Every structure is written in structure tokens, then in C-alpha cells.
Structure 1
């Protein structure tokens, strides 16, 4: 009897030892570093389950023992995060458990898309269509369909998207970025309008958006924006036409090939401010915050004209004679 009890005891001890050893081996497999020599990108596919992902990681040589993680999901499901679709950067030295935690986190690989100031909505759409890793839901939509999708049915899209750098990750699409850019423009336009000067010629936030787009297209020199806004304000107050070339170009559309002629200046389009009075009916580009602020806070003064010096800045004049002299100096002679 004593021998039987001793044998049973030995078996129990051996069983415990084997179980403990197996457990330690299992934990060691979970905590083992990834088999990587350099960082790699791993994409969690849409709709993939945990077991499918770890099997794929094993097939790609990133982990050695998919069974250890599959067992973890069965024994301790609370330790297995819900995987998120996206791309993740896996690095050498990272343990298997750290990798699993990463795949369930928000630390996805992101990409940047810059929407520059002064671009048109068509140019914005082209940037979105060419952005890598971004879903292209709107590629085959009309402008009207896009605005309806953004809950702005009947709104002309030009000017309504704030130019900035936006970050996105795999799984996002162009509608996500358009919503961000639209919301930012609406918020910033509201903020800027609240700080407007009292004696403006523009009478609404939308008119300020139109004016800002003209300023944006006229100059890239920060110090000139408020002065150009002042010229436009005084011209409107005196009943003069704005006569700004970017409106002519916008009205020409795809016909514009890099230069405008005197015939183009005389062509009657809804946007040609050499022909129409006041501002065009819509913005002609995406203005940045500086141009929006200039539109609602024009610089006081007495200048009524400006001409490009050819270096990105302008020569401002008070009289037509001064302006013609400047044109001869900077345009006709050149």
C-alpha cells in the first residue's frame, strides 16, 4: 500500500512538473521575440479572425508558433484584443504578446495628404484620387453627388474645403478626408467672420469666402494679403470692377493653357471680373486661414491698383497713371 501511494505521489509530482514545464514553455513561446531582422508592415485584413491572423503571421515567418496564440484565445480570451483593420509596423525585438496588443490598438501606420492653398475642387479631387492606400469612393461621382453625400446637397463645392495636411490610414476613404476638410473650413470661416471689421463691403461669411479665394489666388506673399483685400474693398466701394486675372482663368476652365489674351479679358463669363461688377458668384479656389482673415480685415489705405513684379510680389499704385507706369516697367518691358 505504501508503495502504491508512493508511486501515485511520484506520478502526481511528475504530472505537476510536466504541466508547469508545459505552461512555462507556452508562456515562453508567447513572449518570444518576432523572427524579424528589420521592421515590416503587416496589414490586418478586413473581416479576418484572430486565428486566421496568427496563422498568416506564421506563414509569413513573423512568428514561429501560431498554436501558442490560438491556445491563448481559447484559454484566456480576455487577453486577446479585438483586432483592428489597418497597417502596423512590426519591429525586431518585439514580443509576440506585444505584437498582438499592437494589432488591437490605434497605432496604425498613417499617411499624409497635403491640400495646398489656392487649388480648385477639381485639383483637390485629383489629389484624392492619386493618394496611395486611400479608398476612392468618389472617383466616379459628380461634384453634385459628392456634396449630397456630405449632406450639403445643392452647395457648390468650390472653396468649401480647408487646405491643410490631413493624415489617414488604410481603411479610410476620400469621403473621410472631405468631411474633415469641410468641417474645418466651416468652423474656421465662422471664427474668422466673428472677428471681422465693421466697415466691410462683403456682407456674409460666404462672400468673405469668395473674397478670400480671390486674395489667395492673387498672391503668395503673406505681407500683401491685407493690402490686396484693401484694394478690392476700395474698388467695390467706388463702383470699380475688380479686374483680377485669376477670375478670368477660372471662367475659362479647361481652355486655359497658361496665358490669357485681351480677347479672354473681354469674354463674358460669370467669373470674369473685367466684365462683371463685384465679385464672382462662387469662390475660385481653396483659401487658407491667412486669406480668410485678410478678407474680413482689409488694410486701410488709398491704393486702387496692383501689378505683379514677377517675383511673387506686387507693385501697388494709387492712380491709373502710376499703375500704367508700373505695368510698363514690370509687364510690357519684360
Structure 2
């Protein structure tokens, strides 16, 4: 089973887990080890226990003063205030208690996803920085060619000065790549509670499973059940339905013609409000579910598109590698300049980086897709 669900993306992702900018890292962590560090360093995760304890105490206190069963006695207004409202308040407190547990788990999930996103950000920043070396080399070559053209009278002094100024400005712009690497490492170290040093490597784990081998319907159910917003709306709908059901059962037993206009008006106002609350909550929940369905389908389409983009990138790299022997012959026979030859080599490097970025994006998409699910339950045999 482990071979099925824990396939490591081959050569390109092996490259993806190396450090480009920072040199040989002094500290290496598996993603699981880094995630543990990030969770231990997150005060909001630990503080959530206080909220759980608070709702637990509140529930215990309310349970002692809440009627143990619903009794359909008294007038409608009294029935609602003494029977229905206490039950709803008790249910709401218990719902908040369960939601506090779920929130703690979701805080943990968010930390793990943010860590993965940050590790990927470090790798992408390092790639971008390494690409600045290619860019700088190309600009330096342009500058040398510009000098040769000017010395040989092939360009005017004004054009020479304008072009030289433009190239130097472009060279300065490459310095932002180093700043991006510094920022990416700062974000990673902040998450892990470390000193801000570029002496660390976090090795990503890769769970890449063909979509047809996943129970997408179960994954969707897991998301709906465990997502904080969807779960909260589901509970609001349940409580509104529960309250409306209690009131409707009692309301339907009354012969409204036997009541005064004031009493009938009070009853209808309370009943209509409960009914409207339920209908509005149900509509809000259904609208949210519809938006979730759309976002879920978009996520699956994104994964499918990434698979296609990865295959295209691999084909381009294979084609360039096949052409490399031809480039070697042309260069050795003097039919290709060193600048042209180096540029073709740089093209392969840039294509490899593009492949790596796509695979990192796929890694992130799978993490987002599976964060709420148990792999043992969603991978088809």
C-alpha cells in the first residue's frame, strides 16, 4: 500500500529538494519533523484548549438548569421561553464545544499547509535566484557585444550610452532575487521558531495518486464535514431546523380561532421568525455548498491540467536533450558561437526549472485535496 500512496516524483523532484542558494544546509528535516516544530511553535494551537475548556464548563453549567425533556405546556410564548430556548441554548453550547475541537484540528491543518506552501516558496525563490545568474550572464554578454560594436564604429555614441544604461538597470533588477530568497527563508524560520538563517533544508514528502484511484466522493464528504465554515453553517442549519420543528409541532396543535388577536399575533410572530430563520439558514448553507462544489471541481481540473503541463514540459526537455548532441557538433565545428551554445544550455536549465515548479504546484494541490482525509479510506483498492 505504501508503494501505491507514497510515490516520490522522480528525477525532477529529487532536484526539487536540493538547496540552490544557501549551499550545503547545516540542518535537514523531514517534512513531518518540520511540521511538528511548526505546530509546537504556534501559540494559537495551544490556546485553543482554553476555548475548549470554556465551552465544556459552560455546557456543564447549562445542563444542570435545562429541562431534561420538552413539555408542551403553557401558552406558546411561555413554551418557547421556558422549554424551547433553553434546549436550543444547550445545543448551541455543545455545538460550540465540538466546533472548538474542530477549530483546533483545522488550525493544525492550516499550519501544515502553510508550512508546505512556505517550503515550496523557498525552493521557487532559490530557482528564481539561480536563474538570475543566467540572466546576468546574458546581460554581461550583451554589454560586451555592445562595447565591441561601439569600438568598431557600428553604433553611435548616443545609442551606445542608451543601451548601456538600459543593460545596467536590468542588471540591478536581478538583485531582487536575493531579497526574495531572504524573505522566503525568513518566513520558514518564523514558522519553525528558528533564528533567521539559510542553513536549513526541509524535504517535502510527495503523495501523488492518480485521480482515478481516489474516492473523490468520500474526499468531498470529508471536506464538508471538517471544513470550519461548512461545518459551522451545517450546525446553524441543524439548530434552526431543531428549533423550528419543536415550535411547529406545538403550533400545529393550537386552534388559533380560540385566541385573542394579541395572543395569536405573538404566536405567529414567534413561529414565522423560527420558520424564516430555518429557511434562510438552509438557503445560505445550500448556496455555500454550491460554491464549494464549484471550487472542488476546479481543484480537480487544476490537478488534471498540471498533469498535462508536466508531460508537455518533460517532452520539451527530452527534445532539447536529443538536440544537445547536434549543438555539440555545431559548436565544435565552429558553426555555432559560444554565446549561442551557452544560451541553448541555459534553455535546458530553465525548462528543468519549469518542470520542477509544475511538480511543486502538483505537490501543493494534492496536499490541499487530501488534508481532511485518511488515505487508507480514500485510496481505492
TM-score, length of structure 2 as denominator length: 0.21
- Bigger share in strand: 1
TM-score, length of structure 1 as denominator length: 0.23
Instruction: Using CA pairs under 8 Å that are at least 6 residues apart, name the structure with larger relative contact order, 1 or 2.
Output: 2
- Bigger share in helix: 2
